[in-house]
Amino acid sequence: MSDIESFKQEERVFNPPATFVNNAAISGMEAYRALCAEAEEDYEGFWARLAQQNIQWTKPFTKRLDESNAPFYKWFEDGELNVSANCLDRHLTNGNADKTAIIFESDDAKVSTITYRELHERVCKFANGLKSLGVQKGDRVVIYMPMSIEGIAAMQACARIGATHSVVFGGFSAKSLQERIIDAGAVAVLTADYQARGGRQLPLKSIVDDALALGGCDTVRKVVIYKRTGGDIAFDQNRDIWLHDLIDGQSAECAPVAVGAEHPLFILYTSGSTGKPKGVQHSSAGYLLWSMLTMKWVFDIKPDDVYWCTADIGWITGHTYVTYGPLATGATQIVFEGVPTYPNAGRFWDMVQRHKVTIFYTAPTAIRSLIKAADADSNVHPNKYDLTSLRLLGSVGEPINPEAWMWYYKNIGGERCPIADTFWQTETGGHVISPLPGATPMVPGSCTLPLPGITAAIVDDSGKELPNGKGGLLVIKRPWPSMIRNIWNDPERFKKSYFPPELGGTTYLAGDGSIRNEKTGYFTITGRIDDVLNISGHRMGTAEIESALVANPIVAEAAVVGKPDETTGECICAFVVLKRTRPEDGEAEQIAKELRDWVAKEIGPIAKPREIRFGDNLPKTRSGKIMRRLLRVIAKDEEITQDVSTLENPAILEQLKHVK
Ligand code: WTA
């Protein structure tokens, strides 16, 4: 049975426990429906009320939604605020000043904590340091840092002075980093000497050096280095500065710079269906608002919670649910430097036990790999740990299959904790479809219902809304405050990618397929409709990997497709034509290895193809178009049942069937 079939037939329903419902921010389905009704009756009024109640404005807004230049929507445009003040300064006067903001656990299990007052001080010093380097409101700053208090402080420091940050995940290569620095026009790069992960020291600063040496990064004036491990680095006296030297002697006060509601808080690059990553641009006020509301509604955050989102700050989940949402709502959170399998695959459960975590948010890939590990070694099975502190679980990044859901529910949540299967994207800024833990009856494998104010629907290719039970394109019909504002430097691509004319030009196209249950109307996500893969919850464009492969001088042509994988969701399968004769056996293996390493260098290790198959050619139509749907079938080692009569060169299929 395919995943989709098993989702469709999923009949199990799990109600939120009564104790949870009684204390929840949104308690019961009536409360959920009341909020939805409020949004429906007065859409702008609904959002305006929430924006007034949740954000501390330095200048109140009078305008609500501006649709005059759709799809370049604006929210609360004449209001002013500072996002960092909303995350930190507000806690200095509301009784949270001495509350722990972050419990940091290093790779080697050293724990340090920081209160809101101390974090405020650290961010102010960092911000003053950046100012002393000449960084100003509107400048872009690239952050290439490990999971750390400093990484979060770096983002907050940018927000404090109105600089737009662009965090690049530490697993991206020098070339990827260089492209992002150039596209963003960054004036500074904030990095660390090394990052410690899984007992290893991985260089960051030397990758920054390599990125800048590739050329074209003339806007970069300074590189700031956080000393994490103390390992050797090259140091350019004119350009480089240690973070501790930068902040030494800086004042612990830094007045937050007020910015307009629409001021770009950050740009985050993500994969699309063409070779070039898209710089997703987010606003300040609308984004902040939704990060706070979803912390309250979906994570039901309470003053005594110990909250842990395992995502890296290099991804959107780490932005909204590590750097902004938890701090703005005054939460105590765990920040973890390492990996789930070091020193063993019980690390997550050990940390939940030691820190008495109450809310735990991770990706299905992690769950699936920990299921495997627990099956293989009973010492790292969650039943060896005391997980009774947990009250709520979350899942993000990819569809969670019902089996993994059930395991998570039983073994981690003790059948006591609701699971929020949160569907969202880099572009949506925060959760858009998710169960509310104190309201929504849960069905394994379904992200259930849109959050209040989110007008999600399923349409066909012409934009016509489809009835329940019919699969189609997932859209959001009305603009909402935390949505993507633009693609940095590419407004045309923004319009084309997300607001295609076929759908009327103003409806947000998510890029995922979805289907609603006939009876309940619950949404299930059926996967991307474009050439974007989801590997371990990380987005990767097939075109990006293809252009990396063909950039290698020995490669003539390449086509990349996704193949289902039990643990990582999907894995990358590449079909390659070389400029020389087709290699076989040992030689093919050798060249495949070289090409894998090449892709790691071009994009990053996360983009390495699992499998590379060589052919004399690729299956093409007579007009020369590569038939990817056939390649997808071949990658899965399934028989081809489709019509291949339009194929120019059917014989090639036999050749590609053989692995390598
Ligand atoms: C997928 C991550 C099913 C989806 C926050 C989306 C999901 C892409 C879920 C965005 C979920 C994310 N169920 N699929 N709960 N959450 N996705 O931009 O394909 O890294 O379009 O944002 O991940 O990935 P991104």
Report the nearest atom of ligand 1 relative to the CA of 527: 19
Q: What is the pLDDT of residue 640?
A: 87
Q: What is the pLDDT of residue 1?
A: 45
Tens digit of each residue's pLDDT (9 = 90 or more) over 64-84 = 999 999 999 999 999 999 999
Strand bridging mode 486-487 / 278-282: antiparallel
Alpha-carbon distance 560 to 602, whole Å? 15
Tens digit of each residue's pLDDT (9 = 90 or more) over 366-396 = 999 999 999 999 999 999 999 999 999 999 9
Nearest-5° angle of CA 354, CA 305, CA 125?
A: 90
Q: What tokens appear for 659 in the block? A: 């692995």
Longest Cα–Cα distance of the chain, Å, equals 74
Nearest Cα to Cα of residue 537 among 331, 333, 314, 281: 314
Residue 275 neighbours by CB distance under 10 Å: 15
Q: What is the pLDDT of residue 5?
A: 59
The protein residue whose alpha carbon is closest to atom 25 in ligand 1 is 425
The predicted complex's ipTM stands at 0.99
Q: What tokens appear for 497 in the block? A: 């990618």
Q: What is the pLDDT of residue 497?
A: 95
Q: What is the pLDDT of residue 164?
A: 99
Region for residue 626 given its phi and psi (left: phi exceeds 0; alpha: psi -120 to 50; beta: otherwise): beta
Q: What is the pLDDT of residue 251?
A: 98
Q: Calculate the alpha carbon distances from 464 to 59, 222, 315, 457, 579 in Å.
A: 41, 51, 33, 10, 47
How much is the pTM? Answer: 0.95
6 marked ligand binding residue: no
In three-state secondary structure terms, 222 is strand
Q: What is the pLDDT of residue 291?
A: 98
Alpha-carbon distance 9 to 289, whole Å? 37
Phi, psi of 333, deg, nearest 5: -130, 155
Looking up tokens 């904030």, which residue turns up? 190
Report the nearest atom of ligand 1 relative to the CA of 539: 20
Q: What is the pLDDT of residue 9?
A: 66
Q: What is the mean pLDDT of each run of 10 residues along the chain (660 residues)?
A: 58 93 98 98 98 98 98 98 98 98 98 98 98 98 98 99 98 97 98 98 98 98 98 98 98 98 98 88 98 98 98 98 98 98 97 98 96 96 98 96 96 98 98 98 97 98 96 98 98 97 96 96 93 91 94 95 93 96 95 97 95 94 87 92 84 78
391 marked ligand binding residue: no
Q: What is the pLDDT of residue 326?
A: 98
189 marked ligand binding residue: no
Q: What is the pLDDT of residue 644?
A: 84
Ligand 1, CB within 6 Å, residue ranges: 270, 315-317, 396-399, 421-426, 447, 511-512, 525, 528, 534, 539
Region for residue 171 given its phi and psi (left: phi exceeds 0; alpha: psi -120 to 50; beta: otherwise): alpha
602 marked ligand binding residue: no
Side-chain half-sphere exposure of 440, counting CA atoms within 13 A: 30
Which residue of 270, 298, 395, 424 sits with most ligand 1 atoms within 8 Å of its CB, as the best mutation to test the pocket?
A: 424
Q: What tokens appear for 223 in the block? A: 């590189």
